[in-house]
Structure 1
Amino acid sequence: MEPTPPPPTPEQPPAGGGGYPPPPQGGYLPPQPSGYPPPPGGYPPPPGGYPGYQPYTGRNDLPPPGSGGLSTPALIGFILSIFGIVLISIILCIVALTKIPKTGQRGKGLAIAGLVVSGLWVLLGGLLVIGLIAGNSEPDRDASGQVTTTVNTRPDKLRVGDCVTGIEEGVVKDIKVQPCDQPNGGKVFAVFELPAGKWPGLAAVQAAAEKGCTDRFKALNEQPDKPSSVYFLHPNEDGWGLGDRGTTCLLVPK
């Protein structure tokens, strides 16, 4: 009989410990120490932190609203806007709105209100200018001097023979003149000047204007086509002070 060979023995690591045993069936060995000490855990920061840097805290450095009192430009700008001093008011209100967020002062509402009031003054001024331009329009006339278009004009621009759309009670700053071949509310039959001098009073001016128009209508020796009344436009005290002495006489149908 031949001798039976001995069973195989596990493979031994080479001499000197230069390797690891094979992993067990179905798994891996845990990490093995490398034989070196772990690195130090870092270096502490220098006392007082690093120079030239500071941490961000997220804090708002602006002063809280209302902590700086009332804004003087906002207050003055609002007051000036009430009195119509528009240019200075607008500048001051804009300055206030620019500085209030930085200073924490009160007065933002005043500044906004000042701008609004100033804007209303500008709008009103523009409407007045447009009205004056429209009221000062010279009527278009043909070669014979007759009005050819309907337009607003000042009473002192009326001429004898002009026709108007109507006469309103009270102070007349402008009047609408129209061609006479259309139905109208009155026709100018005389224009004259009252005597120069100091303002004699409203009653005296009205009496002189009424007498002058009545006398001139009688001098025409004409009968109107329909029942009519004599109206007259005369200067008031303000116009008198500016040298206006003109009186316009109109025959207005009843």
Structure 2
Amino acid sequence: MDPTPPPQNPGQPPAGGGQPQGGYPPPGGYPPPQGGYPPPPGGYPGYQPYPGQSGLPPGSGGTSTPAIIGFILSIFGIVLISIILCIVALTQIPKRGQRGKGLAIAGLVISGLWVVLGGLIVIGLIASNSEPDRDASGQVTTTVNTRPDKLRVGDCITGVEEGVVKDIKVQPCDQPNGGKVFAIFELPAGEWPGLAAVQAAAEKGCTDRFKALKQIPDKPSNVFFLHPNETAWSRGDRGTTCLLIPK
């Protein structure tokens, strides 16, 4: 009679494989069945979409309304509201799976261009409205753009063109210049007499004043005059500036 085989150690699989009869499971648990365990319903717990993503397909939420409105407002120069809406759109678009990122970016770019343009206009207005620097005797010491009504008798300019003159460049008279102010006077007050009448009065006033000076120019020159237009006249501007411009 064969001896009874010794009992197997608890937790050890029986010879030839299979699961042990009784006892404890082997260290680490039983091996998974062929193909692994199926995932629990709904996926593995604890897994979230990647940070910053909504889990929605891009474009499934339609086009962002703030992006559309912000882009339209940027075209018309309503910069402050446009910038706010475009920033809001860029924040919402990835969360809601919307389209319109390009519109929002374009709105910000256009708004930025409006800001730059506005800054240049302000700088230009400040420069054109600035009072020329003068020494103790009243002579201009730096070259600068200024309004015609800032000119004084004796000021020298770089030149002047016919037409509407909104600003004029004045400079020190010791530099080669394109003209010099020899008289300034006011036209008679009253209703706007018409452009032809204003031009005739300005020309006669400047010509008479130049003759009264009895000065001979150093080089052949023409008498030139700056007079108010109808808009300036409506604001009470009657000033006329007379210049001697070299030919």
Structure 1 and Structure 2 fold alike (TM over 0.5) = yes
Q: Which residue of 1 aligns with 2:207?
A: 214
How far 1:166 sits from its partner (Å)?
1.0
Q: Say which SS state the counterpart of residue 241 (structure 2) adopts.
A: strand
Distance 1:106 1:57 in 2: 23
Instruction: Report whether the alignment pairs 1:65 with 2:47.
Output: no
How far 1:93 sits from its partner (Å)?
0.9
Distance 1:187 1:61, change over 3 A: closer
**Match among 45, 49, 55 for residue 54 of structure 1:** 45
1:126-205 matches, within 5 Å, as 126-205=119-198
How far 1:64 sits from its partner (Å)?
1.9
Distance 2:214 2:4 in 1: 154
Distance 1:134 1:221, change over 3 A: same
How far 1:89 sits from its partner (Å)?
0.9
Gaps of 5+ in 2: 7-13, 32-39
Q: Deviations over 1:174-210 (max 9, x none)?
A: 2111122222110001111223334333333322222
**Match among 13, 21, 26 for residue 37 of structure 1:** 21
Q: Which residue of 2 aligns with 1:9?
A: none
How far 1:225 sits from its partner (Å)?
1.8
Distance 1:183 1:166 in 2: 10
Distance 1:106 1:32 in 2: 65
Q: Which residue of 2 aligns with 1:79?
A: 72
How far 1:91 sits from its partner (Å)?
0.6
- Of the two, which has the highest radius of gyration? 1
Distance 1:61 1:99 in 2: 10
Count of aligned pairs between the two proteins:
221
Q: Percent identity?
A: 79
Q: Say which SS state the counterpart of residue 118 (structure 1) adopts.
A: helix
Q: Which residue of 2 aligns with 1:92?
A: 85
Distance 1:106 1:172, change over 3 A: same
Q: Which residue of 2 aligns with 1:8?
A: none
How far 1:61 sits from its partner (Å)?
4.8
TM-score, normalised on structure 2? 0.77
How far 1:134 sits from its partner (Å)?
1.7
How far 1:161 sits from its partner (Å)?
0.7
TM-score, normalised on structure 1? 0.75
Q: Which residue of 1 aligns with 2:9?
A: none
Contact 2:54 2:96 in 1 (8 A): no
Q: Say which SS state the counterpart of residue 248 (structure 1) adopts.
A: strand
Q: Say which SS state the counterpart of residue 203 (structure 2) adopts.
A: helix
1:22-33 matches, within 5 Å, as none
